[in-house]
Amino acid sequence: MKGLPPSTARAVLSADDIARLLPHRHPFFLLDRVTALEPGTSAEAIKNVTASDGVLAGHFPGRMLYPGVLLVECVAQLAAVIYGSAAAQSATGELVADVADRVGYLAEIRQAKFLKPVLPGDQVVFRAQSGPRLGGLISVTGQASVGSEPVMTARLAVTELDRS
């Protein structure tokens, strides 16, 4: 990802690492791996969409499509990884720590555009960039792509809980 310092550009977080940063659990734990991370600023992650994903059983019968609202949720979870890793780094000097209690909420979907459907077998790459803070809200821009094709863009606001 452009703009990441060499020390963090190659930072990879496994699903177990992500689970330490997020309170989400199955079936709402959506990210498979973080592939690049600049704590407090930006990150990139992947999600593998499979036909066995339970949400596809009813969305839609006859043509399985990964729900757009879950693509937006993936960006929100990646935003939580961005600020959770910054909190972990501040508290422990490490990118990962048990900071899931700091994850707030998706507060606003300012804009979301769904450009192409996401289907079973797709590997979706998510990118999120933290923007300005206004009070307890953090502005986030995100996008999702499959291969070189963009499938979704979004502008969100998320909250961060301060447990200091």
Which residues are annotated as catalytic?
A: 59
d(CA 70, CA 88): 26
Residue 126 Cα distances to 7, 110, 138, 150, angstroms? 20, 18, 18, 10
| 139 burial type by CB count under 10 A (0-12 exposed, 13-18 middle, 19+ buried) | middle
> 121 φ, ψ to 5°?
95, -15
Beta bridge partners of 123: 48
Residue type, 84: G
Q: Is 56 helix (H, G, I), strand (E, B) or coil?
A: helix
CA angle 7, 127, 11 (to 5 degrees): 20
Query: Can you read off the two tokens belonging to residue 42?
Result: 């930006």
